[in-house]
Amino acid sequence: MDEKTSEYSHVVTVVAPGGESLQLVADHLESTLSAAGVTEFGPVRMLSGDGAFTAIEQAVSPQDAQSLRKALETEFSGKADICVSPSTNRRKKLLISDMDSTIIEQECLDELADFAGLKAEISAITERAMAGELNFEEALIERVGMLNGLALDTLETCYRERITLMPGAETLVATMKAEGARCVLVSGGFTYFTSRIAEAAGFDTHQGNTLLDDGKTLTGKVGMPILGREAKLAALESEMMTLGLKAVDTLAMGDGANDLAMIEAAGMGVAYRAKPVVAAAADCGVTVTDLTAVLYFQGYTDSEIVWKE
């Protein structure tokens, strides 16, 4: 962060798909700031403009940062992702992230259900649980119970044939680790998948739930205690204590209701293509671009990013 930026209370970041005109994005940002009553702002800084993204940031001192965020999100809806963040402590030292529909493009349990011919039924329960309409632990027990008798080798088939990393996942983790951050994967999903995804995406460690089996098939039971909303928050707090960090040094990211506690507690809570209840509680969201946007939100430029994809 340069000296000029430090004179302002916040930084607005706009991340659009590549091909968007930098000048048009900058003009749109300036007009929206003026319409929102922001009179104190610094020069526009380009973060990306020659590749897959068009990303800029502008230091501002708004009277109400939340109102400004809403105005910007309305103006750039469907066109760009927005972050309005404090101008200090922008680069986080701890990343703690959900896995399903965040670091990977799928919900592992729903994909397993497809092999059992139950995807529609289980996906419907997943959707309601992630929206906060159902108790997560109870919903997980119900869904896993429906997989009783599924052959163990289905897990490997599912991972190999169905599971893919979210665009930008490897780049996000590699860049933050290069800056010295610790990266932790926490999931209400299962350790069979978290262990493999953590390695594939480059995370330092992982946590998840355990599917129980009899050596040949799933028993329809999940190991206790279940890792849910409070356990994710506890993981964040434990990592902070171990590393000697404050909340402002942390970034938590997810898409479902069981991510809410850690997203609200972190210095930067990111809703990634999230349910409305999560998007409303987060500090910023990504719906248009991909996980690379989370780096631009922290002030990284293309030349600083460790590109993996």
Contact 269, 281 (CB under 8 A): yes
The answer to whether residues 166 and 291 touch, using CB atoms and an 8 Å cutoff, is yes
Among candidate residues 50, 81, 98, 255, the one labeled active-site is 98
Would residue 100 show up in a list of annotated catalytic residues for this protein?
A: yes
Active-site residue (options: 50, 81, 100, 249) = 100
* Element (DSSP H or E) covering residue 237: helix 229-243
Whole-angstrom distance, CA of residue 16 vs CA of residue 23: 12
Q: b/e string for 160-184 if b means 16 or more Cβ within 10 A?
A: eebbebbebbbbbbbbbbeeebbbb
Dist. CA 46–CA 299, nearest whole Å: 10
- The single-letter DSSP state of residue 211 is E
SS3 per-residue string spanning 4-68: HHHCCCEEEEEEEECCCCHHHHHHHHHHHHHHCCCCCEEEEEEEECCCCEEEEEEEECCCCHHHH
For residues 72 and 74, give the distance between their C-alpha atoms in angstroms, rounded to a whole number. 5
DSSP assignment of 121-147 equals HHHHHHHHHHTTSS-HHHHHHHHHHTT
- Give CA–CA dist 117/142, Å, rounded: 16
What is the set of active-site residues? 98, 100
